[in-house]
Structure 1
Amino acid sequence: MQNDLPDKGAESDASYAFREHRLSWVAYVDAVLKGAVAIAIAVALMLAPRWIMMTPITAQMLFYAGIAFVVCALGLLVYRLFYIRRVRLYTDQDGVWCYRGILPWQRGIVGTNWRDVRQASYGTGFLRWATKAYPINVDNRFTDTDPIRLAHVHRGHEFVGHVNAWRNRMLRQDGETLR
Structure 2
Amino acid sequence: MEEDNASAPPDRAHVVGTKSWIAYFGTLVLAALLFFGLLPVAFMWNEIAAGVVFIVSALVVGYRLLLLRSVQLYYDDVGVWTYSGVLPWKKGVSGVKWRDMDEATFEPGFWSWVTGSYTVRIGHRYTKGGEIVLTNIGRGKAAVTTLNACQQELLRTNAIE
TM-score w.r.t. length of structure 1: 0.67
Identity %: 30
1:23 and 1:154 in contact (8 A); partners too: yes
Partner of 1:108: 92
Paired residues in the alignment total 148
Q: 1:5-35: per-residue Cα shift (whole Å, max 9, x none)?
A: xxxxxxxxxxxxx543221121222321233
Partner of 1:94: 78
- The answer as to 2:128 corresponding to 1:132 is no
Unaligned stretches of 5+ residues in structure 1? 4-17, 51-58
Name the CA shift for 1:39/1:19 in 2 (closer, same or farther; >3 Å). Answer: closer
- The answer as to 2:4 corresponding to 1:20 is no
Which amino acid in structure 1 is aligned with residue 62 of structure 2?
A: V
1:118 and 1:140 in contact (8 A); partners too: yes
2:42 and 2:53 in contact (8 A); partners too: no
Work out which of the residue numbers 26, 29, 34 in structure 2 matches 1:30: 26
RMSD: 2.9
Q: CA separation in 1, counterparts of 2:108 and 2:51? A: 40
Q: Matches of residues 135-146 of structure 1 in structure 2 within 5 Å?
A: 135-146=119-130
Q: CA separation in 1, counterparts of 2:28 and 2:92? A: 25
Q: CA separation in 2, counterparts of 1:151 and 1:76? A: 21
Q: Tell me which of the two structures has the higher relative contact order, counting C-alpha pairs closer than 8 angstroms and 6 or more residues apart.
A: 2
Which amino acid in structure 2 is aligned with residue 20 of structure 1?
A: V
Q: CA separation in 2, counterparts of 1:172 and 1:19? A: 23
Q: Matches of residues 1-179 of structure 1 in structure 2 within 5 Å?
A: 18-38=14-34, 42-43=38-39, 46=42, 64=49, 71-174=55-158, 176=161
Q: CA separation in 1, counterparts of 2:135 and 2:35? A: 24
Q: 1:123-157: per-residue Cα shift (whole Å, max 9, x none)?
A: 22222112211111112112222321211111001
Which amino acid in structure 1 is aligned with residue 104 of structure 2?
A: A
Which amino acid in structure 1 is aligned with residue 17 of structure 2?
A: H
